[in-house]
Amino acid sequence: MMERTPTPPVIRRLDSTHKKFPKQLRRLLRPETGLVTGLERQVARIIRQVRRQGTAALIRLTQRHDRIALTPDQLAFSAAEIDAACRQVPEEDMRAVEAAAERIRAYHTWQMPKMGIDRYQDASGLLLGQRWDPLERVGLYVPGGRASYPSSVLMNAIPAKVAGVAELIMVVPTPDGLLNPLVLAAARVAGVDQIYRVGGAQAIAALAYGDTVIPQVDKIVGPGNIWVATAKRQVFGQVGIDMIAGPSEILIIADRESNPAWLAADLLSQAEHDELAQAILITDSPPLADAVAVCLERLLATPETITRHAICRTALANRGAIIVVRDLAEAYQLASQVAPEHLELSLTDPEAALPFIRHAGAIFLGRYTPEAIGDYVAGPNHVLPTGGTARFSSPLGVYDFIKRSSLLGSSDAARGRAALHQLGPIAARLANREGLTAHQYSIAVRLESPP
């Protein structure tokens, strides 16, 4: 009788006390390999075509990639088309979108800094300060087809409108003419000004450089596939971008009082995004680790509950882990090292852990705050730094749609003159030492003592 090959566990188990643990953790967290050079070249070619040929290239590329033929006046959705899409949305779905939008808008309104001019006068009499202004025009990329995400429309569009962006342009591909009507409904609720049925690298190029139909924007935000991410990277500098987002991530720190079934569900909530998603549990309780692994197996065996079970299995096998640590202090240290997109604190006193967590995109406090509540309706933004970039970047917010101008000087000539006589000699000396004599002269000539 042949021996059966043992079934591999659905998720790997790591122990922080093992001598190979640092190497195992590095391998687990190692980012995916860089973009293929060939893809970079193809995206650059698409951007060049749109930049040189404008709308004609955009229409040609849309027909090639999305298999839909458009004329210039069909690129934008008309108000009647958006009305028709909204009528297709079930009433309960529309109420859910409106409720989520209300909470997202309230949070980002609270987040807004004081707009206009903020100033103070220093000891020299010089007026110093800054002025806050919203961006004038922003482009929002939204993935298309049936598997698109209205929540991403709300999370990207609402903070832009709260910040005072004058014109918000949305692009969304409609492959084979397919579109989720809830996406257009969410755009209307969020206050999007214009929506175009184009996508891919060609849509990013059109937003960055403008054409005869789609106007040039100041900044591009929103998620997309590897073509979209590559195009955003290539047009950065011509326009601003939000971030280059990677696969979704969740890290959960759990104590022994946590419910293993809840933790398993939360790990799967991120693993179902795609095969490259990362789901990690850190606990100081070996029995809890065992119980979560059993719950994962049980849930993945119920396709009526976890419909994307094949994707979940691949993600957990490739990038998932349950890590058993000595104590929660070590868990906090590891969490800061990972700097995850989403961090759940399934702890009796989650706020006590906050001083020890240095890096995370969003932190979910307590056992009754699953990450999924933040994806849709809590209020804070679900557009978060991934791949460890939470070490130096932040969630999307109103700050991404406003800019600052520095203010310095004085409208009062006497005060201005007094300040210049106090500060001018210092600046003139530094300019001289840098060999910038025109700088020095522009100060000295006002001091009535040119060099």
Evaluate whether residue 28 is within a structural domain.
Answer: no
pTM for this entry: 0.91
Q: Cα–Cα distance between 109 and 239 in angstroms, integer? A: 25
Q: Cα–Cα distance between 312 and 304 in angstroms, integer? A: 14
**Whether residues 261 and 232 fall in one domain:** no
Cα 371 from chain centre? 15
* Residue 30 confidence (pLDDT): 81
Q: Cα–Cα distance between 146 and 1 in angstroms, integer? A: 49
Question: Which residues, given as ranges, of the chain have pLDDT below 70?
Answer: 1-7, 31-36, 146-147, 449-451
Structure tokens at 236: 């950065």
Catalytic residue annotation? 341-342
**Whether residues 47 and 136 fall in one domain:** yes
* Residue 34 confidence (pLDDT): 55
**Whether residues 121 and 224 fall in one domain:** yes
* Residue 36 confidence (pLDDT): 66
Q: Cα–Cα distance between 165 and 329 in angstroms, integer? A: 43
- Is-contact 230 208, C-beta < 8 A? no
SS3 of 129, please?
A: strand
What total of structural domains would you count in the chain?
Answer: 3
Evaluate whether residue 305 is within a structural domain.
Answer: yes
* Residue 145 confidence (pLDDT): 73
* Residue 155 confidence (pLDDT): 98
* Residue 324 confidence (pLDDT): 98
**Whether residues 282 and 420 fall in one domain:** no
**Whether residues 73 and 54 fall in one domain:** yes
**Whether residues 236 and 95 fall in one domain:** yes
Task: Give the CA distances from residue 106 to residues 92, 110, 398, in Å, rounded to whole numbers and listed in that order.
Answer: 21, 6, 12
**Whether residues 271 and 296 fall in one domain:** yes
DSSP 8-class letter at 382: S
Rounded to the nearest 5°, which phi and psi values hold at 93? -65, -40
Total Cβ atoms within 10 A of residue 1:
3
Structural domain boundaries, residue 433: 410-444
**Whether residues 250 and 370 fall in one domain:** yes
Which residue from 111, 89, 180 is spatially nearest to 401, judged by alpha carbons? 111
User: Across 201-356, where does the E strand assignment appear?
Assistant: 219-221, 240-241, 249-254, 278-283, 321-324, 342-346
* Residue 116 confidence (pLDDT): 84
CATH classification of the domain holding 385: 3.40.50.1980
